[in-house]
Amino acid sequence: ELEDSRTFADYNVLKRSSLDMLLRVIGMIRITIQDMTGSTISIDCEPTDTLQKVRGKVQCRTGLPMEQVEVLYGDKALDGDGPLSEFVKARIDVSAQLRLKGYIKIFVETETTQGFVYHMLASATVADLKGRLDRESGVPPKYQKLTHCGVEMLDERGIDYYFGHGGSDHYAVFLSHGDVVKVEVDGGASGRAILYAENSETVATLKDRLELEKERYKDSRSLYHDGEEMKDDKLLRDYNASREFILQLTMKLRTMKVKIQDRAAGKVYTVVVPETGTLWDVKGAARKLGFSASIFSDNKAWFGGVALSETDRLANQGVVDGSTLIWK
């Protein structure tokens, strides 16, 4: 507090300095309150104001019904009919927290040092809390293990079973993922995918899940970790020796080289197409090499003495890496 008899120099305010000042009415108590979202509000109160009047001022600022509002000062909820001066002895700025009656504030700490704060109804279950975590963290409930004071919290139990009715400011819960890993896959033009798996799963299983969850990943593709192609029969833990929670992978389309023999021009060209590609893919790659559309419309592609289907996969028609197609 700046005293009237002193100069700005006494407070180390130099010439042409910017000075931020807080104005407070003499004799008032300023309460800075943190609400459920982490935002802060400040209200000025008379020492003679009752807690009912304080809650009324909170209602004016937040819109929360004052009969549901609890103001926490220290680790206690302010309650009773007496004046504010019974709880706040010095006429100074004080910090407090806001809580809704019937709700419990829970702080969830994770293995990745990420934290979440929730205000849960005391009647909610641990499964409800896991559902909130699923929506914000992305970790499916079946992979979540919540513990409080070293005790695992069971899904069917109520929040109040572990915390009572919220007499404390907040309760700390630890979220562990056990053998679960968050897999982030960069599929290039096919986009990114995120899913959760266990380190004991095989690479083949992960690929199957990717095909189910991402339609664009249904073509034959290879997964890479740190530039190394992952083998289908290997476990994810084989590529995650340090047991990191996040495993970053790259997915690339498996391709094959197909030769095109243009008998009319007497030339042979090589194009690269997906292993699961069709003759349409061959035509598209050939056009990029300068083939005219008329060549495709006037001729058919032959392989092994058989005219190839336009829509069936090349692999189904016996075409493999290094095969030569004849256009005639």
Do 241 and 298 lie in a common domain? no
Q: How confident is the model at residue 238 (pLDDT cuts 50, 70, 90)?
A: very high
Do 30 and 93 lie in a common domain? yes
Task: Tell me the pLDDT tens digit for each residue of 54-70.
Answer: 888 888 887 777 776 77
The answer to whether residues 302 and 328 touch, using CB atoms and an 8 Å cutoff, is yes
CB atoms within 10 A of CB 141: 14
Structure tokens at 137: 């963290």
| pLDDT the model gives residue 28 | 77
271 inside domain: yes
| pLDDT the model gives residue 171 | 74
Of the candidates 124, 61, 120, 129, the one whose C-alpha atom is nearest the C-alpha of residue 96 is 61
Do 96 and 33 lie in a common domain? yes
How do 40-45 and 267-274 pair as beta strands?
unpaired
Across the range 40-51, mean pLDDT stands at 84
On the question of pLDDT at 21 being above 60, the answer is: no
Across the range 277-301, mean pLDDT stands at 78
In the chain, the largest separation of any two C-alpha atoms, in whole Å, equals 107
Do 160 and 197 lie in a common domain? no
* Buried b or exposed e, range 146-184, using 16+ CB within 10 angstroms: beeeeeebeeeeebbebbeebeeebbebbbebeebbbbe
The answer to whether residues 327 and 299 touch, using CB atoms and an 8 Å cutoff, is yes
Name the average pLDDT for the chain. Answer: 79
| pLDDT the model gives residue 137 | 81
Do 268 and 292 lie in a common domain? yes
The answer to whether residues 308 and 317 touch, using CB atoms and an 8 Å cutoff, is yes
6 inside domain: no
Do 231 and 265 lie in a common domain? no
Across the range 184-192, mean pLDDT stands at 80
269 inside domain: yes
Q: How confident is the model at residue 202 (pLDDT cuts 50, 70, 90)?
A: very high
On the question of pLDDT at 127 being above 90, the answer is: yes
Of the candidates 299, 266, 141, the one whose C-alpha atom is nearest the C-alpha of residue 282 is 299
CA distance 277 to 289: 18
- The continuous run of DSSP H or E covering 108 comes out as strand 103-110
On the question of pLDDT at 267 being above 80, the answer is: no
Of the candidates 205, 253, 213, 214, the one whose C-alpha atom is nearest the C-alpha of residue 232 is 205
| pLDDT the model gives residue 89 | 66
2 inside domain: no
| pLDDT the model gives residue 234 | 93
Across the range 91-115, mean pLDDT stands at 74
Q: How confident is the model at residue 98 (pLDDT cuts 50, 70, 90)?
A: low
On the question of pLDDT at 242 being above 90, the answer is: no
Do 162 and 190 lie in a common domain? no
5 inside domain: no
Secondary structure letter of residue 142 according to DSSP: G
Do 240 and 212 lie in a common domain? yes
> Which CA distances in Å does 186 have to 193, 194, 243?
7, 9, 20
110 inside domain: yes
Structure tokens at 308: 């190839």
Do 147 and 202 lie in a common domain? no
Across the range 65-82, mean pLDDT stands at 71
Domain of residue 294: give its range. Answer: 255-327
1 inside domain: no
Structure tokens at 140: 């499916």
CATH assignment at residue 312: 3.10.20.90
| pLDDT the model gives residue 280 | 86
83 inside domain: yes
Higher-confidence residue of 103 and 214: namely 103
Q: Do you know the residue count of the chain?
A: 328
On the question of pLDDT at 299 being above 60, the answer is: yes
On the question of pLDDT at 266 being above 70, the answer is: yes
| pLDDT the model gives residue 92 | 61
- Spatial CB neighbours of 248, under 8 Å, sequence gap ≥ 6: 184, 186, 225
| pLDDT the model gives residue 157 | 93
Instruction: Let me know if 47 is exposed, middle or buried by CB neighbors in 10 A (0-12, 13-18, 19+).
Output: middle
Last residue of a domain, one of 53, 70, 100: 100
Last residue of a domain, one of 125, 153, 176: 176
Structure tokens at 325: 């197609």
Do 116 and 163 lie in a common domain? yes
Do 244 and 276 lie in a common domain? no
User: Into how many domains does the chain fold?
Assistant: 4
On the question of pLDDT at 230 being above 60, the answer is: yes
The answer to whether residues 161 and 120 touch, using CB atoms and an 8 Å cutoff, is no
| pLDDT the model gives residue 155 | 94
| pLDDT the model gives residue 220 | 59
On the question of pLDDT at 285 being above 80, the answer is: yes
CA distance 309 to 328: 14
Q: How confident is the model at residue 168 (pLDDT cuts 50, 70, 90)?
A: low
Structure tokens at 50: 């009752």
Structure tokens at 59: 């209602």
| pLDDT the model gives residue 189 | 66
Q: How confident is the model at residue 130 (pLDDT cuts 50, 70, 90)?
A: very high
Last residue of a domain, one of 251, 279, 304: 251
Higher-confidence residue of 57 and 295: namely 57
Higher-confidence residue of 57 and 202: namely 202
Helix, strand, or coil here: 162? helix
